[in-house]
Amino acid sequence: MINIIDYVPGQTLLHRLNPVAKLALAAAIIAATFLADSYALLLGLLALTFALAAYAGVAGRLAPLLKVLIPLAVVMFALQLVFVRTGAPVWGVVTTDGLVTGSKVCLRLLGVALPLILVLMVTKLTDLANACVEVLHVPYRYAFTFTTALRFVPVFSQEMNAIMEAQTARGVQYDTKNPFKKLQLMLPLCVPLLVSSVGRTDATALAAEQRGFYLRTRESSYKRYPLAARDWLALACCVALIALGVAF
């Protein structure tokens, strides 16, 4: 089963950047998206993310994420139309400020969610953790916790699917179109999933401790992550993106 955050091998410049530079690039796009107030810049940042994904050969992998984000964006848009009461009336409860605020919220939602997923697609989690420890001096336990949590996402998803298939075989119908009934059917699945996740977490912690987890330092990794010229150029682009967000 292919997961959306699985690493996609490649030899593009984006793949060869230092993991810290990739993380900074994603953070800069996200920060600029929050700071931007013009449609031109919001659309430009979103186009930049898709352009980078197409260049790295992972644009097609963003489609499953968009299937989740677009309905959520529609819900956010509708909420803004209902609750933003300032501006000139357009139709019913819809106002001009509601349309503007709702559309910008949708663009920000997409612009914030996609860059980090893109970075995870073109970066090995091990390299990301080790680079953060070496370059950013992040304690290894925190970097390990973050990357391990990401590794467990597809595992828990597969376990949830297995539990749902077992319940379906017993006559439970999860294909109902009623969202409230579906939520009512999904809630009992949290108990077996929680039990299995606690057991898996405990086993992982015990295995890590037996392998000298608490003895690891910055020098423990056999691979070094120096910042090359291309990485400094990427960091300069990050500063420029944030400056654009502040200006526009």
C-alpha 129/C-alpha 150 separation (Å) is 11
Q: In this structure, are residues 121 and 61 in contact, taking their beta carbons and an 8 Å threshold?
A: yes
* Residue-level pLDDT at 221: 67
Q: If you search the block for the tokens 């376990």, which residue do you land on? A: 159
pLDDT tens per residue across all 248 residues of the chain: 456 677 888 889 999 999 999 999 999 999 999 998 889 999 999 999 999 999 988 888 887 788 888 888 888 888 888 888 787 887 877 888 888 888 999 999 988 989 988 988 999 888 888 888 888 888 877 887 777 777 777 777 777 777 777 777 777 776 767 767 777 777 777 777 777 777 777 777 777 777 776 666 666 666 788 889 999 999 999 999 999 888 87
User: For residues 216 and 155, what is the distance between their CA atoms, to the nearest angstrom?
Assistant: 26
Residue 222: predicted pLDDT: 67
What's the pLDDT score for residue 220? 66
**pLDDT at position 1, please?**
43
Q: Give the Cα-Cα-Cα angle 30, 35, 39 (nearest 5 degrees).
A: 95
User: Residue 179's pLDDT is what?
Assistant: 67
Question: Which helix (H) or strand (E) segment is 133 a member of?
Answer: helix 125-135
